Structure 1
Amino acid sequence: MRDIPSISEAEWEVMTILWRKSPITAQEVIVTLEDDKAWKPKTVKALISRLLKKEAISFVAEGKTYYYSPAVSEDECYRSERKSFLQRFYKGSPAPMLVHFLKDEKLTKEEIHELRRILDEKE
């Protein structure tokens, strides 16, 4: 597996937009974030710049317009974040995390059946 860059919470907002629609310009990212975030255009452009430096995104220039696309998939990033979380809090083992989760959360019957099905497949 290739190295997936560490993506901050704010950068994740930009990545989510790029995963949903790309290639996309910085202005389109800014407009998309306008309703949810009170970020200035300069902030969004700084986040895009950081993601470029991390090689999490790439761009294609058409004249003076830059079109940005993700260079890493959403699935790869989720997997990397999940592994990092497990390592930091559960020494890399998913079992204790699942036990804590199952004890603390309320699950529907459908969710319980789905979890049983997945666990049965693992045997």
Structure 2
Amino acid sequence: MKPIPHISEAESVVMEALWSHSPRSAEEVAIAIGDERAWQESTIKTLLNRLLRKNAVKVLKDGRRYLYSAAITREQWLHSESKGFLDRLFDGRVAPLVAHFSRHRKLSKADLEELKRLIGELDDGK
């Protein structure tokens, strides 16, 4: 599997627009992002070009315009980002992450129930 490139926060906004619908022109991406960010189309084009250089996006010429689509899935990106986060901050372990959140941010009853359900599924899988 090819390595997943690092995608900045701004680039991830563009990727979300492409993951929700592709292919899109730069203008269509700008419209899709709309009120979320007040970016000019030139900013969108700059971000698309960065993503192209990183091989996160692919492009197809359609007459006088370019149509962009994601070259990686959201799931691939999410896996890569979360693995990197765990590796950097928690030595690759999930338990210290959950402990950190339980100490510094109150987990809701729904969060606790979901964690119990997930642990139960993991136990059943052994």
TM norm structure 2 = 0.89
Choose 98-107 or 112-121, whichever is displaced more: 98-107
Q: Which amino acid aligns with 1:11?
A: E
Distance 2:90 2:69 in 1: 33
Q: Which amino acid aligns with 1:39?
A: W
Conservation of the 8 A alpha-carbon contact between 2:101 and 2:107: no
Q: Which consecutive aligned stretches of 4+ in structure 1 deviate over 2 angstroms post-superposition?
A: 102-111
Deviation at 1:88, TM superposition (A): 1.4
Q: Render the CA deviation track for 1:30-86: whole Å, top value 9, x for unaligned.
A: 122232212221111000000001000111111112111101000111111101111
Distance 2:112 2:34 in 1: 38
3-state SS, counterpart of residue 35 of structure 1: helix
Q: Does 1:25 align with 2:18?
A: no
Distance 2:113 2:85 in 1: 26
3-state SS, counterpart of residue 36 of structure 2: coil
Q: Which amino acid aligns with 1:82?
A: S
Compute the RMSD of aligned alpha carbons.
1.4
Alignment gaps of 5+ in structure 2: none
Alignment gaps of 5+ in structure 1: none
Aligned pairs (5 A) from 1:1-123: 1-123=1-123
Matched pairs, number: 123
Choose 110-119 or 73-82, whichever is displaced more: 110-119
Deviation at 1:105, TM superposition (A): 2.7
Identity %: 41
TM norm structure 1 = 0.91
Distance 2:35 2:51 in 1: 22
Q: Which amino acid aligns with 1:108?
A: S
